[in-house]
Structure 1
Amino acid sequence: MNSLRARRLTRPTPLRGSNGVAFGPDGRLYVAQFLAGEISAVDLATGDVEVVVPADGPVQAPDDLAFGADGSMYITDLVPGRVWRRHPDATFTLVTDQVRLPNGIACIGDCLFVNEMVPGGRLLELGQGEPKVLTGGLAMGNAMQLGPDGALYYPHMLTGEVFRIPPDGGTPELVAADVHEPVAVRFDLGGVLQVLSRGAAGIVTRVDLFGTGDRTLLTSGLSGLDNAAFDTENRMFVSSFAAGGITELHPDGRTREIAPRGFAGPYGVTVDFGGTVFTADHYRVAEPRHPEGDVTTTELLTFTHGIAADGDLLHLTSQYGQVRTYDRATRTVRTRAEGLDQPLGIAVGADGTLVVAEAGAGRVLAIDTDDEVTELATGLGRPVDVAVDDEGVWYVSDEAHGTVYRLDDGAPLPVAADLEAPQGIAVRDGRLYIAETGPGRLVAVDLATGETGTTDLPAGPPAPRDLPSLRAHGLPGVPRPFAGLAAGPGQSLYLTAEGTILHLTPAEHP
């Protein structure tokens, strides 16, 4: 196998998805990273990022955070349904595990409040003993804050509304309706309510509740806003669940990057006939911009993990059970299959048939143009990816069995065995390429002779960690990472690895 040159198509980002943010006692901005399972601190003056709560600690899926008067950090651990207290000495205490998908969190003096990101959720005060219910019926709560009037403000994500309630309970009061996809409420130092939108345009709705009553919109262009914090100079810093990073957002819409944005994954990768690279990035379909190193959002399409290009169509899988087709020309989505068990890799046959690796069920499925689903192979361990050669022969990688199989009338025949966690696969010019994620290398198999060669990769794929359930309380949890592989024009291969896409070309290739 010829040696390969690997080139990153995007800049590395230290915050692969950024969620709740809050200023700590040391003046740094602390950022919860749900997908990464980490909490980091950002120095706004230098842009330096330090991981302060690593992924191997007790917190599994941090989504929001707040600081108490003594400097303790309180964390909502979304998927396991826990709330943690991280003491100033970096030790942890479990506050409660009796909350369904806790998300928004706020400290008011010595009182701690959280809400639940579920339909019909509750807003709770946490302390000794059972949580106190302030109110129920939240249409998916999220980031909340104490207002200048002493009330607690929170969004209803499902209904586009913002409510407030006294901290000691009472009847919630609607303060803003018809708000664009609200995800977080924040007040600037002047007391103006700022409601962040989770949509593609990055809209912030400003409501001067205690002054003129005026309502204005700011369109930032920052896809997937998640949360915000204001410093002592009233500067606004925002996070993005889709693109990560931390960005200063000026009142006139100008932005300044503090911590670079990038991919939340990425997961699967594909290349269309025009050579455009697309990746499935959990919350969106995205494109790397080389040589700038930026990432652009093709479309916010939540829970995308596998991807295959087919003209104007992008076929997508979600680990939460769906197969969908997105039409780039019409920007419409068609559901092809539902209720599957962790579908991952996807590819398209010459006749338009979709073939999907259903990892959780150990099967390979075919979905025809009429959305009829049939089995191509069963009895596999954990099939991760599929690929087809020029003769219409299908291949599947089995991560659990360490084998890549050729499907011969439904019978899996080993082509490459004794591999350590094979994931993404691609076929081109009579060679089968395999991303062997255990040792971090690319394996090439000559399908005619069986000759095998390997190339070590400068950056391996993200290592799987012990994750909570993919679903909790009926809602999606943390997906399992995997390395996608795709063949591009010429001798190019594209591999998702360590928060970026690697462009692999022969060493002598320009």
Structure 2
Amino acid sequence: MTGRWHSRRLTGPSPLRGSNGVALGPDGRLHVAQFLAGKISAVDLATGDVEVVVPPGGPIQSPDDLAFAPDGSMVVTDLVPGKVWRRAPDGEYELLSAEVVLPNGIAFAGNRLYVNEMRPNGRLLELTADGPVELTGDLAMGNAMQLGPDGLLYYPHMITGRVYRVGVDGGEPELVADNVFEPVAVRFDLGGALLVLSRAATGVVTRIDLFGTGDRSTITSGVVGLDNAAFDAENRMFVSSYASGGVLELHPDGRTREVVRRGLDGPFGVTVDLGGVVRAADHYGTATIGPDGVDRELHTFTHGIAARAGLLHLTSQYGQVRTHDPRTGETRDRARGVDRPLGVAARADGSLVVAESGAGRVLVISPEDEVTVLADGLTRPVDVALDDEERCYVSDPGQGAVLRLDGATATPLLAGLTEPQGIAVLGRELFVVEVGTRSLRSVPLDGGDPRVELADLPVGGPDRPTPALFAAGLPGVAPSFAGLAAFDGALYLSADAEGSVLLLTEGPGR
């Protein structure tokens, strides 16, 4: 290494990479499913200590919710592959079902196990030894459910904003609550009150005194992207967030206490605007990183990001390219149906250059939103960068190279790389994150020998087979991406292996 570059964290590593389903285990710890990271952790609610109990790379790919059986077994809904698993107390796995489409919510009634499907026209099913038995259908995106004190199953319809209940043997579903904003979870406290979590940016919880006065009130927590909740033996409510991870205790008056620090879900791409504001694409939205922490804005879904002229240009690996104005809050589509767009760069005239990873192309989107092909025949382009003359460079992990585009001609600038991802131009040098060797490399734009600038960087996604990008026509798990940006003589790196953003500076370490 040259020794001329040094790194420091702008954000700490994320203890939980998005926190989804939660359940108290027999050991008293809160077990937290992490859908994006493909793992499950156990949290000591007294100390906040986090232990990974189901690591990535095992049979469970994308855990979204979990519950504990009377015998202490953990049962997990594995959303993307459509499987439901039982993990015995000794750690052995048993596949309970592979016949549920996008399984999400899960609940026990004694030893009877129920799951629902997070899709339009989904089903609520009992999993029996003879296979799934449908209790009811037409769920408008099911999610976290629970057995109520009356012995009925309560479950949300995210799309219609309703909560229903149905008997454990089926029957006609009964509407319990209407006009609840995007309900993602229903939970009962120890007193029998029904609490419905919404995935709104304000972190709203609707409380219904269902078996008493029937009164309905709301709690505003301020937790962006609420996902699930659990109550302990003292009736304390602990909530998770798909957008920011962490675990918080939520008081009845809306106050929160952070048990596990919140952090980044990815991050993926990273950018810096002319004011020096650092923003990261963080799957469920953008994360603005400042001296007082991280502020989040939901933009489902976001993986590539570029700032220019006060605008944010965003890509989603699920096929969208958008432009967002942080000042007005307005967002407009620039292109749809793109095959896994990822890296994005903005030209001075307002046009966008986009790496279309799934099609092996680099696209240009004009200010009038006309899409043309700048280069094709690439293998798997993931990032693009522009120099001062607006010449385009592209990283292609499939070729193990960084290429300069001269018109439609791609000329290797740096070859023989292992999984090159994020690239950025700083002065007359190009920098690339080589994920396969966890290093930062540089090469002069005008020719010269490449150099290793930093090693042992915390980059690279979970050590597991990547789940499908789509499942049943809906978004699955997006592959990780270590983005890189340049601003004012420094580099900014999405450290996706630990969920942080690093500042890389030239000169003495600081």
TM-score range, shorter chain: over 0.9
CA distance in 1, matches of 2:503, 2:426: 16
- 1:404 alignment partner in structure 2: 402
Q: CA deviation at 1:2?
A: 5.6
1:362 aligns with 2:363: no
What are the within-5 Å matches in structure 2 for residues 1-400 of structure 1?
3-290=4-291, 292=292, 294-297=293-296, 299-400=297-398
The structure 1 segments of at least 4 consecutive aligned residues displaced by more than 4 Å after TM superposition are none
3-state secondary structure, aligned to 2:283 = coil
Q: CA deviation at 1:456?
A: 2.2
- How far apart are residue 17 of structure 1 and its match? 0.4
* CA-to-aligned-CA distance 1:219-241 (integer Å, 9 cap, x gap): 10000000000000000000000
Letter in 1 for 2:326: R
The residue number in structure 2 matching 1:501 is 501
Asked whether 1:469 is paired with 2:468, we answer yes
Structure 2 unpaired stretches of 5+? none
Mapped contact 1:441–1:460 kept (Cα < 8 A): no
- Structure 1 Cα separation of the partners of residues 323 and 109 of structure 2: 46
On the 8 A contact 1:183/1:227 being kept in 2, the answer is: yes
Kept after mapping to 2: 8 A contact 1:13/1:259: no
Counterpart code for 1:319:
Q
Task: Please give the alpha-carbon distance, in whole angstroms, between the structure 1 residues aligned to 2:250 and 2:330.
Answer: 31
Give the residue type in structure 2 aligned to 1:235: R
Query: Where do 1:425-444 residues align within 5 Å?
Result: 425-444=423-442
When structure 1 is superposed on structure 2, of 306-315 and 224-233 the one drifting more is 306-315
Equivalent-residue separation in structure 1 for 2:426 and 2:507 (angstroms):
18
Q: Deviations over 1:279-303 (max 9, x none)?
A: 100001111233x4x3210x20111
Distance 1:395 1:240 in 2: 37
Equivalent position amino acid for 1:470 in 2: L
8 Å Cα contact 1:225/1:241 also seen in 2: yes
CA contact (8 A) 1:205 1:217 kept: yes
CA contact (8 A) 2:14 2:265 kept: no
How many angstroms does 1:450 deviate by? 2.1
Code of the residue aligned with 1:506 in structure 2: it is: E
Deviations 1:31-74 (A, max 9, x none): 01000000111011111111111111100000000011000111
State whether residues 186 and 193 of structure 1, in contact with CA within 8 Å, keep that contact through their aligned partners in structure 2: yes
CA contact (8 A) 1:462 1:499 kept: no
2-side partners of 1:250 and 1:482: how far apart? 37
Deviations 1:168-189 (A, max 9, x none): 1110000100002210000011
2-structure distance, mates of 1:237, 1:459: 34
The farther-off stretch of 325-334 and 152-161 is: 325-334
Distance 1:424 1:212 in 2: 57
Paired amino acid for 1:341 = D
**Structure 1 position 458, deviation (Å):** 4.5
TM-score (norm 1): 0.98
Which residue identity does 1:220 align to in structure 2?
S
CA displacement at 1:18 relative to structure 2: 0.5
TM-score computed with the length of structure 2 as normaliser:
0.98
Q: Which moved more, 1:264-273 or 1:331-340?
A: 331-340
CA distance in 2 between partners of 1:131 and 1:332 (Å): 44
2-structure distance, mates of 1:281, 1:172:
37
Contact residue 10 and residue 501 of structure 1 kept, 8 A: yes
Q: Which amino acid is 1:478 matched to?
A: V
Q: Distance in 2 between the 1:407 and 1:483 partners?
A: 22
Quick one: which amino acid aligns to residue 456 of structure 1?
L
Distance 1:26 1:15 in 2: 19
- CA deviations over 1:347-386 (Å, ceiling 9, x no partner): 0012111000011111000000111111111111110100
Which residue identity is paired with 2:295? Answer: T
Other structure's SS at 2:64 match? strand
Secondary structure of the residue aligned to 2:358 is helix
Partners in 1 of 2:174 and 2:470 — Cα distance? Answer: 32
Look up the SS of the partner of 1:287 in the other structure: strand
Distance in 2, Cα, partners of 1:262 & 1:468: 23
CA distance in 1, matches of 2:509, 2:131: 65
Letter aligned with residue 126 of structure 1: L
- Structure 1 alignment gaps of length 5 or more: none
| Structure 1 position 457, deviation (Å) | 3.7
Correspondence for 1:415: 413
Query: What secondary structure, in the 3-state scheme, does the structure 1 residue paired with 2:136 have?
Result: strand
Structure 1 residue 400: Cα displacement: 1.2
Match of 1:360, SS? Answer: helix
CA distance in structure 1 between the partners assigned to 2:458 and 2:430 by the alignment? 19
Question: Is contact 2:436–2:460 with CA below 8 Å preserved after alignment?
Answer: no
CA contact 1:6–1:457 (8 Å) conserved in 2: no
What residue identity is the alignment partner of 2:420?
P
- d(CA) in 2 for partners of 1:310, 1:90: 50
